[in-house]
Every structure is written in C-alpha cells, then in structure tokens.
Amino acid sequence: MKKTIDAAKVYIEDLFAENSDGHGFDHSMRVYSNALMIAESYPEADNTVVSLSALLHDADDYKLFKTENNANARQFLGAEQVDEDTIDCICEVINSVSFSKNKGKRPDTIEGQIVQDADRLDAIGAIGIARTFAFGGKHDRSLESSIEHFHEKLLLLKDMMNTEKAKELAESRHAFMEAFLNEWERESRDS
C-alpha cells in the first residue's frame, strides 16, 4: 500500500494546488503526520485506512468541492485498485471527520477517532490560528468574525479529542490559543 499512499500524496497536492484558505496540501500532510503519530499508540488500528483517510479527508469537503458520496476519494481509490470494502471503510472515516457535520459525535472506529483527532489538532495552536485567519481572509470575514470562530469551535476542540495521545497534544496548543486571545483582548482595549 505504500505505492497507493505515495500516489495519494501526489493526488492531493494536485487537487489542492490552488487552495490558500488553510485546507490545502500542507494541511492534509499535517493531518497525515498527526494521524500516524497518534496511531503509534493504537496497534490495533489499520494504518492503511488511517493513512489514506487522513490524506484524503478533505478531497470531497463540501466547503471546497461540489461532489457527492466521496466522489473524488472513491475515484482515486478505485483507480488505485483498492478493494471496495477498504474504500467504504476509508470513506466512513472521512465522513466522520468534519466538525460541522459531526458535532458531538464520536467515530465508531479507532481509525475514525484517530483521523478526527489528527484533523482537530491541526485546527488549534499556532497553526490553527494561522489557518483561521487564512480562511477568514479568503472568505471576506472580518478579524472580529474570525475571533468569534475561536469561541464557536476552536476552544471546544481540546475537550472533544477521542484518544489519550491527542488529548495530551491538545493541551499546549489550547493554552497557546488562550494566550493569543488574551493578548488580542489586551491590544484591542488599548487601541
């Protein structure tokens, strides 16, 4: 499956070539790295499913593509001759990742929990702050509207992690966001 994982990296690099809103190739690669790091603590997890789900988790994101039934992911995996059961498993994991579509839902599988956590880790901390403002700028959000996003979503993520490893990693990232928001408030008051 290494060949398929390498091909997935090339595929998403091309798919996200024009993306500058924080959901691009770099984001997918960080989610992939996070997922592999978390998966080390869960030997029962299927690393092929974790890897391909992490890499392809935004390939059909409704904010970016007008596809149905994971069409981009399914087309890629089919072309790579991945068997139907594995494709369905990967798509199930992909569909369990989105915060807005899965509020409060914990994925049923360890693979889904790992990839959901990996994606959520990339939404918080210094990178999460940068991604929030990149997305906001691309979609004409004001700075204040982007700050609201911290309270609506980002500050909630630490307590929504599924795995112990992700919970550990989320602590310092969450603290960094709190420090940023405190500084934002201080500077906003002083100006």
Gap between the Cα atoms of 22 and 18, Å rounded? 11
135: domain CATH number is 1.10.3210.50
pTM equals 0.93
Taking 80 as the threshold, does the pLDDT of residue 22 lie above it? Answer: no
Residue pLDDT, tens place only, 75-131:
999 999 999 999 999 999 999 987 766 677 889 999 999 999 999 999 999 999 999
- pLDDT for 20 equals 66
Taking 70 as the threshold, does the pLDDT of residue 166 lie above it? Answer: yes
Say how many domains are in the chain.
1
Gap between the Cα atoms of 24 and 18, Å rounded? 8
Q: What is the tally of helices (H) and strands (E) in the chain? A: 9, 0
Distances, alpha carbon 110 to alpha carbons 77, 119, 168, in Å = 21, 14, 17
Taking 80 as the threshold, does the pLDDT of residue 56 lie above it? Answer: yes
Domain enclosing residue 179, as ranges: 2-190
Q: What's the whole-number mean pLDDT along residues 24-43? A: 95
